[in-house]
């Protein structure tokens, strides 16, 4: 088999590998547990617009360690996928830095022929402890999650007082040359949208790539409301009033972010708009959950088990064939905001972003 093509002509190049479903943050858009998070959703719930009230806030059942793929199993699967066209690996979670000895996995992946880029998405709280080891092991890039520059609002959103550590992690990544350093913020109306301009100013001062992400229905409380989404077009209109922005043309059709350069600097802004401007038509991603399931879309309602094959003695060719069969079942698009949309059972922390 050559290549991993789906039924719509899309070729898979990007594999996102979740290392754990656990996280040390409790973000309102993923794993809300605080009373503040519950109150935020309750005060914005409208029974006329949404007949399904939020679930009681409770954390999902995390998988036991034995249920997670070992580093050897992850490495083997990537070795099988690379000759089929997978070029980019992004390590995700949960919080991937909670996985012990993660730098050893990065080193293993960096030695696989065909893998051109290894990145990680992290909340940044533990990054300083592992940064130099990860860089030495072959990590190319890092994306941080930071939804607020206000310490109290950061705590309200994440459930943790960790802004100082995250800022230090971002600046350390810059010093280590992990460029472009990217920072992501999920924008939620009434929670952090008043910080749009200050977040953009932060990107300008730090000369980083800052990406604004629309709020998606992947939270454990099922509290998502479309009214809480701040559309990318609205974000852009606001920012262009205060900053001079020039569109960045990209030759990469599969890129999820539309990008703008902040004039007079090396800073960039990106808009990721899966709700208001879906980019499903050129999606080239697969996701591997920490417990060995392949998901062909963030919003898939079905997962494909590869762990059983990995642990039951299947040959590499058999696994490669199954991977090809799975890709052929990739959905044409998601259905967020449509009457038939059904939110996946697993939250973002369990799927891997």
Are the C-beta atoms of 22 and 156 separated by less than 8 Å? no
Please name the residue that has the structure tokens 């009434």.
190
Burial of 276 (0-12, 13-18, 19+ CB in 10 A): middle
Gap between the Cα atoms of 87 and 278, Å rounded: 23
**Is the CB of residue 91 less than 8 Å from the CB of residue 119?**
yes
pLDDT along the chain (353 residues), means of 10: 83 96 90 68 58 58 86 98 97 96 98 98 97 98 98 95 98 96 96 97 97 82 78 97 94 82 95 83 91 89 93 97 95 74 69 68
Q: Which domains does the chain have, with CATH numbers?
A: 14-184+283-351 (3.20.20.70)
* Cis? peptide before 94, omega within 30° of 0: yes
DSSP conformation class of 330: -
Please give the structure tokens belonging to residue 39: 């109150």
Q: What pLDDT is stored for residue 1 in this prediction? A: 45
- DSSP state, 61? P
Q: Are the C-beta atoms of 27 and 158 separated by less than 8 Å?
A: yes
- The number of CA neighbours under 13 Å toward the Cβ of 23 is 31
> Cα angle vertex 193, ends 254, 272, to 5°?
0
Q: What is the pLDDT of residue 265?
A: 94
Residues in the chain: 353
Interstrand relation of 293-295 and 304-305 (parallel, antiparallel or unpaired): antiparallel
The answer to whether 22 touches 92, Cβ cutoff 8 Å, is no
């Amino acid at each position: 088999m050559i290549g991993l093509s789906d039924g719509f002509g899309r070729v898979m190049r990007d594999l996102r590998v979740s290392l754990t479903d656990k996280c040390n943050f409790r973000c309102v858009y993923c794993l809300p547990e605080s009373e503040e998070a519950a109150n935020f959703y309750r005060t914005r719930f409208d029974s006329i617009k949404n007949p399904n009230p939020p679930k009681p806030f409770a954390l999902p059942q995390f998988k036991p360690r034995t249920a997670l793929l070992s580093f050897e199993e992850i490495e083997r699967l990537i070795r099988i996928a690379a000759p089929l066209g997978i070029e980019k690996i992004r390590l995700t979670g949960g919080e991937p830095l909670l996985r012990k000895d993660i730098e050893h996995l990065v080193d293993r992946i960096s030695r696989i022929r065909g893998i051109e880029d290894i990145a990680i998405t992290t909340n940044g709280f533990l990054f300083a402890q592992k940064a130099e080891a990860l860089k030495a092991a072959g990590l190319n890039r890092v994306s941080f999650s930071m939804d607020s520059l206000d310490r109290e609002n950061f705590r309200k959103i994440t459930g943790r007082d960790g802004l100082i550590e995250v800022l230090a992690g971002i600046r350390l990544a810059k010093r280590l040359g992990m460029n472009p350093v990217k920072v992501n913020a999920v924008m939620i109306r009434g929670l952090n949208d008043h910080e749009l301009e200050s977040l953009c100013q932060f990107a300008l001062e730090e000369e980083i790539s800052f990406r604004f992400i629309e709020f998606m229905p992947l939270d454990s409380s099922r509290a998502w409301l479309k009214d809480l989404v701040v559309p990318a077009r609205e974000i852009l209109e606001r920012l262009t009033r205060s900053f001079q922005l020039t569109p960045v043309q990209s030759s990469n059709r599969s890129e999820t972010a539309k990008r703008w350069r902040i004039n007079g600097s090396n800073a960039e802004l990106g808009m990721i708009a899966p709700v208001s401007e879906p980019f499903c038509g050129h999606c080239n991603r697969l996701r591997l959950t920490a417990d060995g399931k392949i998901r062909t879309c963030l919003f898939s309602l079905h997962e494909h088990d590869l762990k059983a094959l990995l642990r039951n003695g299947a040959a590499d060719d058999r696994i490669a064939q199954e991977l090809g069969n799975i890709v052929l079942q990739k959905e044409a698009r998601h259905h967020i905001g449509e009457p038939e949309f059904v939110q996946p059972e697993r939250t973002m922390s369990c799927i891997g972003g």
